[in-house]
Amino acid sequence: MRDETLGSCQDPAPSVRERDRASQDTPTVLSPWPGTRSERVYAALDLGTNNCRLLIARPTQRNFRVVDAFSRIVRLGEGVVGSGRLGTAAMERAMGALEVCAAKIASRGVLRARVIATEACRAAANGAEFCAEVEARTGLALEVVDRRTEAGLAAAGCAPLVDPSCDGAILFDIGGGSTEVVWLGRRASGDDGPPRARIRSWASMPVGVVSLAERHGGVKVSRELFDTMVAEVADMLEGVRQSWGVRAPGRMHLLGTSGTVTTVAGIHLGLQRYDRTRVDGAWLHGRDINRVVDQLVGMSFEERVSNPCIGAQRADLVLAGCAIMEAVREAFPTDRLRVADRGLREGMLVQLMRADGVWRRPDAPVAAEASA
């Protein structure tokens, strides 16, 4: 580590594992929707550089209940770093996944939805052309969001996992083509749904598991190559760390959301099959992370493929993700990291539901609130 730690908070009791989803406001309040809360169906779709993910949910009294979900690795951003364009095969993979999502949305009777695309479509010269083709074939109108919006959605999705005994957390979301880092203040509870965490500052880096692995290689990764990747990302974070001025004795922890972080947690827990209920909300200490990262760096590609928490589709990406995670840990050193198997989709769902007033008290004024 290159700096003093951020300080520590007491580990919560093992029973303290918040399963609430997301927070974060949108300034728009929609017109009232007839029907009971449980009859309303919402959808959130996130087309990233590496994955296509969908959640369909109904609101509950204070949160929401997932009624359908879909996730597929599509590697839409494959080759964009070199060519600047989305490849034909990558677009077809993504289109196939989006067709499945469109069918699920239609069959579930969704009336409120948000459908976003992130770094691959932002960066590719033919991103807009691809989005138009998606709408023509599936009826899904992809919204290509900027990095600020992406950071805000990640914060909204992960806010309930900020330790309430701490002053806040450094959230990092490792994507396929970009990584968002968000300084979250102390979490706040409200009477209009899940807890919120205030964004104090945020930053986005144009590096993710796909782009970093394509630059350095992901099949044969020596310790030297791994350290080179860590140093590259650490250089990107140096200015962020200095400008934020996050130092001890601030009582902070890290909060990580990505396939990388959930993979590290799964390996640490010794899972023979991925179990979200054990991973989401889990705490990792620095020594645990160090041990798993050293284990991964020492594995052959074939050993990573055979690991039940990695598999063939992520074996060439997991070390690039670990390098980004290690750079974040160097920039914001603290011994405790909380794992989030949640993010953009949960953030979108809560924003949609909150804007629609599903948790608003009947006597509460109908007025827009400031974004968190």
For the chain, the structural domain boundaries read 37-147, 155-344
The pLDDT of residue 35 is 52
pLDDT at 25 exceeding the cut of 50: no
More confident: 225 or 359:
225
Strand ranges of the sheet holding 64-73, from the earlier edge strand across to the other edge: 64-73, 51-59, 42-47, 112-117, 143-144
The pLDDT of residue 250 is 60
Residue 196's beta-bridge partner residues? 188
Is the distance from CB of 325 to CB of 264 less than 8 angstroms? yes
- Across 292-320, average pLDDT: 95
- Across 276-295, average pLDDT: 96
More confident: 36 or 113:
113
| H helices, E strands: number in the chain | 13, 11
pLDDT band at 33 (very low <50, low <70, confident <90, very high): very low
pLDDT at 89 exceeding the cut of 50: yes
Work out the mean pLDDT of the chain and round it to a whole number.
Answer: 86
> Could you tell me which residues come within 8 angstroms of residue 235 by beta carbon, excluding any fewer than 6 positions away?
none
pLDDT band at 29 (very low <50, low <70, confident <90, very high): very low
Q: Please identify, in words, the CATH class of the domain defined by 155-344.
A: alpha beta
What are 252-280's pLDDT values in tens digits? 899 999 999 999 999 999 999 889 999 99
Give the least confident one: 13-27, 146-160, 181-195, 214-228.
Answer: 13-27
pTM reported for the whole predicted model: 0.85
Classify residue 197 as left (phi > 0), alpha (psi -120 to 50) or beta. Answer: beta
pLDDT at 76 exceeding the cut of 60: yes
Question: And the tokens for 222?
Answer: 């020596």
The pLDDT of residue 41 is 96
For 5, 83, 162, the CA distances from 256, given in Å and listed in that order, are 17, 30, 11
Return the DSSP state at 37.
Answer: G
CATH topology of domain 37-147: Nucleotidyltransferase; domain 5 (3.30.420)
- DSSP strands (E only) in 118-272: 143-144, 168-174, 179-188, 196-205, 252-257
Given the DSSP bridges, would you call strands 42-47 and 51-59 parallel, antiparallel or unpaired?
antiparallel
The pLDDT of residue 34 is 47
